[in-house]
Amino acid sequence: MNETIIHFLQRQTCATICCTDEQSKPYCFSCFYVFNSDEGLLYFKSTSDSHHSVFMKKNPVIAGTILPDKLNILLVKGVQFEGIVLDANHPLKEQASGYYHKKLPIAWAIPGEIWTIQISHIKMTDSTKGFWKKITWNRDE
């Protein structure tokens, strides 16, 4: 994965994620996340009975965006991503809770489970690298 993308994702804290309901209507939610750059995974915490959790169990395909925690209206920067939510028995989920809580230890006090998104595609816009500069990454490449 491109170092610019990795650096950006490691420095931010909040993502907006979109899943779909039973009628294929989009449903978005925001969450704090932790990025695992070695595996290309995003971890977030949510209760299993929330709307988005119920939707993602039925259809694990998601998309999302991450903007800088501190916006600068003169510099456009952000990430759009696509991925799949891994099911509870997936081997890549074994390290999720430890990884997430190590980076966000306050989250131990918040009820919920750690969810894992395996990112399949990222498109980053970074105007600090040139006017509307796009950087892309695909897991399959």
Condensed to tens digits (0 to 9), the pLDDT of residues 34-60 reads 999 999 999 999 999 999 999 999 999
pLDDT (tens digit per residue) in 72-125:
877 889 999 999 999 989 999 999 999 999 999 999 999 999 999 999 999 999
Enumerate the H helices of the chain as residue ranges: 3-11, 51-58, 96-103
Q: Reduce the DSSP state of residue 119 to 3 states and report it.
A: strand
* Beta carbons within 8 Å of 16's beta carbon, 6+ residues apart: 28, 29, 30, 64, 65, 66
On whether the CB atoms of residues 66 and 42 are closer than 8 A, the answer is no
Say yes or no: domain 3-138 is CATH 3.40.605.10. no
Q: What pTM was computed for the model? A: 0.93
